[in-house]
Homo-oligomer: A and B are copies of this chain.
Amino acid sequence: MTDFLPPIQTTARDDAVLKALAGFVRQEALGPGEKLPTERILAERLKVSRNTVREALTRWEGLGLVERRQGSGTYLKAAVSPDMLHMPLTLAGGNDFAGLMATLEIRRALEAEAAALCAVRAGKAELAEIERKLDLMEEAFRTRAGMSSDEDWEFHQAVFRASGNPLFEQIIAAMYEMFHRFWEHPLGVRDFGHASFPYHRTIFVRIAAHDPDGARAEALKLIATVEDDLKRGAANLKLSDRR
């Protein structure tokens, strides 16, 4: 009675185009930045309409795999392989306080884990790079008497990169815009992020000591201070104006 019949698949033109194109990219060993055939040529070779090719490429463009430049051509933006994992995340109302807190929670998760991994895996070169970013950040903090979002971000990026897992950097990079939209306009809180400053060095110390649990704990403390700042800012301005 409850027999499960999966729906059959009849036609999937543009998907087939994408699969063929992925195979082509793989065979030609095309990397990021390289140009792939023009839409007209693809349409002719694949025996489909140029319109169909465009729909397929639009999909890839939406996924950030490819960049189209009018008059020039279509270029790869990222490595593409047949077995790729696509994660289109959509956060409704990305402009309000709740949306920012949601992304911050993701950041806390990743930041803690990346710091812990970093403590296990970072070699001398990675540690030196992280410390260099840390020095730059502290220097900027002294001269300009406050947190500098750029240098701060570069420090965190260095940690993510040294985690040895490219996924961390990718995910966090995708959220960069979201974070910085508020970093630049920190809800009217003076000295926003000020409280998080000391934890940058403590994180580094725990990483350098190859103490994953300690690094994780310090990272959690850092995000907690940022979260407190945000909550304070949200309390200051009543936020009733935002839709």
> Does A64 count as interface, using CB distance less than 8 angstroms?
yes
> Does A174 count as interface, using CB distance less than 8 angstroms?
yes
State the CA gap A80–B94 with chains docked (Å): 11
> Does A145 count as interface, using CB distance less than 8 angstroms?
no
Which stretch in A33-41, A136-144, A151-159, A164-172 binds the other chain?
A164-172
Which residues of B lie under 8 Å from residue A86 when comparing CB positions? 88-90, 174
> Does A109 count as interface, using CB distance less than 8 angstroms?
yes
Given A51-B51, A58-B55, A87-B175, A92–B105 Cβ distance below 8 Å? Answer: no
State the CA gap A171–B81 with chains docked (Å): 20
Please name 20 further chain A to chain B contacts, defined as beta carbons within 8 Å, in addition to the given A83-B93, A105-B117, A109-B168, sorted by A numbering: A58-B58, A62-B62, A64-B90, A78-B92, A80-B92, A81-B92, A81-B93, A83-B95, A85-B90, A85-B91, A87-B170, A87-B175, A89-B174, A91-B166, A102-B166, A105-B113, A105-B167, A106-B113, A109-B113, A112-B112
Given A105-B167, A167-B106, A99–B85 Cβ distance below 8 Å? Answer: yes
Set B62, B78, B103, B165: member contacting A59, Cβ < 8 A? B62
> Does A54 count as interface, using CB distance less than 8 angstroms?
yes
A113→B108 contact, CB < 8 A: yes
B102→A167 contact, CB < 8 A: yes
B51→A64 contact, CB < 8 A: no
- Tell me the nearest residue of chain B to A117, going by C-beta: B105
State the CA gap A63–B177 with chains docked (Å): 18
State the CA gap A98–B87 with chains docked (Å): 17
State the CA gap A26–B101 with chains docked (Å): 23
State the CA gap A88–B112 with chains docked (Å): 22
B88→A62 contact, CB < 8 A: yes
A84→B78 contact, CB < 8 A: no
Q: Which 9 A-B residue pairings sit nearest by Cβ, starting from the closest? A: A85-B94, A109-B113, A87-B174, A87-B89, A62-B62, A85-B91, A83-B95, A109-B109, A59-B62
